[in-house]
Amino acid sequence: MPRLNFTGRRRIAQDHVKISVMAADGQNNFSARMNLESYGFPDTAAVIVEAYRQLELSRFEFGTVTRPIPPPNCRLGEFGTLDGVRFRVKVVSSDEPRGRLLGVADRIAASDQAIDRIRRIPLINVKGQDLGREIWKLDFTDEPILLINYRFADKHALVRSGLFQSLVLPEVLRAILTRILLIDQFRYFEDEDDWAARWLQFASSFPGVGCVPDEDDAELDSEWIDTAVSAFCQWRGTDRLFKEFWRDSEQGI
C-alpha cells in the first residue's frame, strides 16, 4: 500500500461498523457491515478492514465507500483462537494524494453471528422446585429443564452467579449433549423446532468444534462433546468467572 498520511482523518463511530464472526468447516470467518454515508468521504475512497492481535495483522480490501464489496476470502485461520482479536476499519484516499487516511474506527470487538442467532432461542427453561438436599438437577421428562432448589436460592440469581456459570453450566451442556448423542443417538440439527437440534446447533457454532460426527461412534461423539464443552468454557470465560468468585470469597465479599 502507499504510505499513509494521517492528516485530517475522521474518527468513525464504532456503532457505524458491525463485525460478525462465524465458524464454517472448522474455519473462523468474518463479515463486515459499515455505514459510512454520513462522513462525506469521496465515493472512490478505498475501505480496508484489518484484523489484529498484538503483532499479528491481516488486511482485507472491502471495495470503496459507495461499493463496499467484501473479498472472496475473509478467513481468520492464522489467528487460531480469536481471543484478543480486534478489528480496525480504514477509509483511504484513492485520488491524489493517494494513500491519505481519511477515516478510521479502531478496537472493534466482533460479535459471533451463530451464537447471536442461537441466543435468541431459549435453549433451556429454569424452574424452581423442592429438590430435598440437591441444589440443582436436570429433568429430561420432555425437553431438558434446569431445576433449581428454591429452598436455598432464587433460581435466576443462582444461574447468573459466577459460581454457577463456571462450575455448573459446562456440566449442564455436557449432560445434554451426552443425552442427545450417546443415549438418544440423535445427530440431526436442521430442524430448529426440535430442542435437540437447537442444542447441537449451539454446540457446533463455536470455533473449532465443527459438525456433529457423521458416524454413530461413541468414542468420536465423546471427543466431540469434550471439544464443544471446552469451546463453550473459552467463549463464556469460565476460568475468569471462577477466579473472580474465588477472589471475592477469600476477601469475604
In the chain, where the domains are located = 10-116, 121-250
Length of the chain: 253
Cα dihedral: 35, 37, 38, 41 (round 10):
120
Among 28-37, 42-51, 228-237, name the most confident range.
42-51
Phi, psi of 110 (to 5 degrees): -85, 150
Q: What percent of the chain has pLDDT over 90?
A: 38
Residues contacting residue 201 through CB under 8 Å, at least 6 positions apart: 114, 118, 189, 192
Tell whether the model's pLDDT for residue 4 goes beyond 70.
Answer: no
ω into 97 cis (within 30 of 0) = yes
Which residue, 186, 205, 206, 207, is CA-closest to 197?
186
Which range has the top average pLDDT, 25-39, 150-164, 194-208?
Answer: 150-164
Q: Give residue 113's pLDDT.
A: 56
pLDDT tens digits, 104-155? 999 898 876 555 554 444 578 899 999 999 999 999 998 899 999 999 989 9
Mean pLDDT of the chain: 84
Reported pTM: 0.56
One of 2.60.40, 2.70.98, 1.10.150, 1.10.1740 is the CATH number of 10-116, namely 2.60.40
> Does the pLDDT of residue 3 top 70, yes or no?
no
Question: Lowest-confidence range among 1-5, 44-48, 104-108, 130-134?
Answer: 1-5
pLDDT for 173 beyond 70:
yes
Cα atoms in the 13 Å half-sphere on the side-chain side of 137: 13
State residue 52's pLDDT score: 92
> What is the spatial order of strands in the sheet that 101-108 belongs to?
10-11, 101-108, 86-92, 46-53, 56-64
Per-residue model confidence (pLDDT) at position 221 = 92
Q: And the C-alpha cell for 68? A: 463496499
Question: 209, 203 in Cβ contact below 8 A?
Answer: yes
* pLDDT tens column, 61-107: 999 999 889 898 888 888 877 777 889 999 999 888 788 899 999 98
